[in-house]
Structure 1
Amino acid sequence: MTTAKTIAFFPEAAFGPALNCVGIAQELKKMGHNPVFVCDRGFAGVFAEYGFEEYLVNMSGDMSDEEVANYWDDFIANHLPHFHLSPLDQIETYVAPVWEAIVESAVSAEDDLKRQLDIIKPGLICVDNVIMFPAITKAGCPWIRIISCSENEITDPLVPPHLSGCSPGDVTGFEQFQTRFESAVADTHKDFNDFLATKDLPPYPAGEFFEPSPTMNFLLYPKPLAFERATPLPESQFQYLEGCVRNDGEYTIPAFPQALDNTPLIYVAFGSLGDADVELYQRMLATFAKLPYRFLMKVGEDLSVYEKPDNVHLKNWYPQPAVVPQVDLFIHHGGNNSFNEALYFGKPAIIMPYCWDGHDNATRIDDTGYGKKLPRYSWSEEALIESIEACLSDANMATKLQAVAAHMQQSEGTKKAAAVIHDVLQEANA
């Protein structure tokens, strides 16, 4: 390698994007570069644990450290009733309030972000977020956008609107969702455009809060599941990373009763924000208790609220990329990390979405035959059991999963991203 450069990663304050960036940063570090992380103060220590230097920004206004730590958990808990609604009816109740919070955080972060980038003086910035930060475009170096959510963040007339949960071809559904979305976020969108104007940046079209990078954009989505587009994405500006699975060490499967030896192992995880849904988890545990399978289930910090069957192991955190290769089925919420990791390791998935791009990923996994979509709340015990048994026994699905896993693993997304970043840096400094 020639000259080592400092690369600033700026992921949104959520574990999915944060840990995707860690995977890329690990590869850049091996190449001799100096990846560092710019992050919300509520994420202090997350990247240091992986050995990376952190630069903190205030994305939370005047909130105390305790309020910052609990913000999204409290936000999700307050919105639990809205997760019973369809993606269309979540627009006004959940999606619009989230966008309001995102815009507020972008405005709050701007001064700190500019100050930290002035200190870091990066050769390149990787931003993994859903909103533009003016300080990124004005930092005087190339920037790369990482798209951790579904690839439908990059719009196209043939691709379902982001967050809609629509299938391709549902033109009426597309139009209905987009019209309601643009109306619901109109005031927030105006506030954001007004903010951009103060930084001498042009406004965004209705309903849009970000743009593709003119340099390079990484899509974590696996290309075999990519949507057909009216305008194909040029490889010179868009690269599919085919997942982007980080190294999380090794995991030893805990002991279960001897009678369950060699039975299928099922992993259940609904993300850190999904753990507020205690009632749902209790209902699932009651169903799992009746099945001749082993379960690893991620839940919240308080394990005492659950009656644990002998065939279930409960924990508040698992090193997911180390767990998924060892299981036979993954039941999750449709977050893009979980979506990709199941495919990367060739595991069938049952997706039970509750919000955001989980709706899109659940529809996509069902439409393409790599797993099953199940409603998060209105499922019957019989439907859940049937879906589990179908995923464990479907030979055609298993064949498809083996093929997509081989494709994704051969692509080595983290190494591919690091190599592209290296080439962009070389070209910028030529």
Structure 2
Amino acid sequence: MTGHLNMGVNVARQLATSAEHRVIYLTSQEAADKKLDKLLGTNVEIMIEPEPGIKIWQQLTDNNYWLETGLLSDGLLAYEKASIIFNEMKSIDNLDSDNQLLDQVLAVVKPDLIVTDFSIVYPAIARSGIPLMRIWITARLTGIGDRLLPPHGSGLPIDSKPEIFAEFNEKLIKPLNAIWKPYNNYLVSMGCQPLPENVLFPIDNCLNIYAYPKEMDQLYEQIKPLPKNVIRFDHMLIESDFDGQEFIIPDKLRDKSGKLIYFAMGSICASDRQNMIRLIKMLGKSQHRFIVSLGNRLDDYSLPDNVWGQPSLPQLSILPLVDLVITHCGINTICETMYFGKPMICLPVFGDQYDHSQRIYELGFGIRLDVHKCTERQLLGSIDSLLTDKVMAEKLKKISQRIQYKIS
């Protein structure tokens, strides 16, 4: 079992408990120390990567990297941010080192099934002949492209003309090909089948699963139905996710008037200290109350009277209590917020966040704003607008009931 996100952790837990399989979760020491508390007390065995670990992903999980490259700023367009990430993945030296590590692990573990959230193929896995299940860590645009679908990470409207989609894709061809060509040559040299042109992970030879609420995914399904080996879930939460500690509304907010709102930008996006402070100052002028997931760069910032926050918060315990969510629109937060039927103000920063935000806006589940350029009037006006939208509230309530009924 490999992976680093909540989805992978929950799949591991479910396999080890409900299905009673022996599950070995391969991860880094850093992730084991900080992010795998949900595996404590389960039958999942944690296997720490031997040094040097899966190097190809280390930069992409480093908050400083995102700040230093400008990926969190407003100075780059969506396709330019995608190009920077592509460039980070192009080192074949790192890929070969990581592949040797996986060869060693598979020789020791000898699994009957490999579950991974990697977005590229490793020869060690491809040549093993072991059945493979891949978790898409974003939604369907990650793995299923079509000239009639918006390109992954574009945030373009679903009803845009195909030539608009083609124009975005054209801007990515050169940086994508710069990765694909040496990567494909490497795979062939290692005895693997060649890849389709500019495809890093073909989906045909494995089971693919992803989380996305049906009501959001339906726009894609109408245009490009899923292949039989791709399965969508409304979420990848399991019942024990809701057995955590009760969240008590802080004294600072408890006796104040106004609706209760949750503001969370994810650990990476919250690293943009300057913009987080700008947004929090705006919220300080609202008549409502705010619970904020601050990340690790706002420990010395004095919050307004109507704002309370901590570096990290129990999101699943907070969401049932609030009336609205302000979010960067990462896939986990999208699924969890839809589970509880809350409207969203979307502030996307990079990648699939643009796509999720646009779908939420198009379907009438929330409002999309520019995270760097939205004004105080736009942000506070959007909050008031969503909180008084009874039609939207009823629609989201029915979606929440449908999703929750399915697992009750």
Return the TM-score normalized by structure 2: 0.88
The question of whether the paired residues in 1 share the 8 Å contact of 2:271 and 2:296 is answered with no
* CA deviation after TM superposition for structure 1 residue 334, in Å: 1.4
Q: Give the letter for the 2:118 counterpart.
A: N
Which of these residues, 165, 176, 197, is aligned with residue 188 of structure 2?
197
Which residue in 1 is equivalent to 2:177? Answer: 186
The question of whether the paired residues in 1 share the 8 Å contact of 2:82 and 2:351 is answered with no
Paired with 1:38 and 1:351, the residues of 2 have a C-alpha distance of 33
SS in 1 for 2:251: coil
Which of these residues, 117, 132, 145, is aligned with residue 121 of structure 2?
132
Paired with 2:54 and 2:223, the residues of 1 have a C-alpha distance of 45
* CA deviation after TM superposition for structure 1 residue 151, in Å: 1.2
Is the alpha carbon distance of 1:215 and 1:72 closer, same or farther for their aligned partners in structure 2, counting shifts above 3 Å? same
Q: Give the letter for the 1:288 counterpart.
A: L
The question of whether the paired residues in 2 share the 8 Å contact of 1:134 and 1:199 is answered with yes
Moved more, 38-47 or 120-129: 38-47
* CA deviation after TM superposition for structure 1 residue 98, in Å: 4.1
- Residue deviations 1:24-76 (CA, integer Å, cap 9, x gap): 2222222222222112343233336523322233686798xxx9699611211
Paired with 2:253 and 2:99, the residues of 1 have a C-alpha distance of 56
Q: Give the letter for the 2:107 counterpart.
A: D
The question of whether the paired residues in 2 share the 8 Å contact of 1:58 and 1:109 is answered with no
Paired with 2:362 and 2:208, the residues of 1 have a C-alpha distance of 26
The question of whether the paired residues in 1 share the 8 Å contact of 2:87 and 2:175 is answered with no
The question of whether the paired residues in 1 share the 8 Å contact of 2:260 and 2:290 is answered with yes
Question: Which structure 2 residue ranges, 5 or more long, are not aligned?
Answer: none
Which residue in 1 is equivalent to 2:6? Answer: 19
Which residue in 2 is equivalent to 1:37? Answer: 25
* CA deviation after TM superposition for structure 1 residue 383, in Å: 0.3
Aligned CA-pair RMSD:
2.6
Q: Give the letter for the 2:231 counterpart.
A: Q
Which residue in 2 is equivalent to 1:115? Answer: 104
* CA deviation after TM superposition for structure 1 residue 88, in Å: 3.2
Which of these residues, 208, 218, 226, is aligned with residue 233 of structure 1?
226
Is the alpha carbon distance of 1:370 and 1:105 closer, same or farther for their aligned partners in structure 2, counting shifts above 3 Å? farther
Which residue in 2 is equivalent to 1:427? Answer: none
Moved more, 350-359 or 194-203: 194-203
SS in 1 for 2:295: coil
Which residue in 1 is equivalent to 2:342? Answer: 347
Which residue in 1 is equivalent to 2:326? Answer: 331
The question of whether the paired residues in 1 share the 8 Å contact of 2:361 and 2:367 is answered with yes
Q: Give the letter for the 2:179 counterpart.
A: T
Question: Which structure 1 residue ranges, 5 or more long, are not aligned?
Answer: 1-8, 416-430
Moved more, 296-305 or 142-151: 296-305
Paired with 2:373 and 2:253, the residues of 1 have a C-alpha distance of 34
Which residue in 2 is equivalent to 1:422? Answer: none
Is the alpha carbon distance of 1:150 and 1:49 closer, same or farther for their aligned partners in structure 2, counting shifts above 3 Å? closer
* CA deviation after TM superposition for structure 1 residue 266, in Å: 1.1
Paired with 2:223 and 2:290, the residues of 1 have a C-alpha distance of 43
Percent identity over the alignment? 26
Which residue in 1 is equivalent to 2:87? Answer: 97
Paired with 1:99 and 1:72, the residues of 2 have a C-alpha distance of 14
SS in 2 for 1:83: coil
The question of whether the paired residues in 1 share the 8 Å contact of 2:293 and 2:309 is answered with yes
- Residue deviations 1:353-379 (CA, integer Å, cap 9, x gap): 111111111111111111111111010
- Structure 2 residue 290 is matched with structure 1 residue 290: no
- Structure 2 residue 302 is matched with structure 1 residue 307: yes
What is the count of residue pairs matched by the alignment?
A: 394
- Residue deviations 1:66-109 (CA, integer Å, cap 9, x gap): x96996112111123663133134344x34334437x7654432
The question of whether the paired residues in 2 share the 8 Å contact of 1:57 and 1:109 is answered with no
User: 5 Å matches for 1:350-361?
Assistant: 350-361=345-356
User: 5 Å matches for 1:34-73?
Assistant: 34-45=22-33, 46-47=35-36, 50-51=39-40, 52-57=44-49, 72-73=62-63
The question of whether the paired residues in 2 share the 8 Å contact of 1:59 and 1:109 is answered with no
Paired with 1:401 and 1:62, the residues of 2 have a C-alpha distance of 40
SS in 2 for 1:145: strand
SS in 2 for 1:240: strand
Which residue in 2 is equivalent to 1:409? Answer: 404
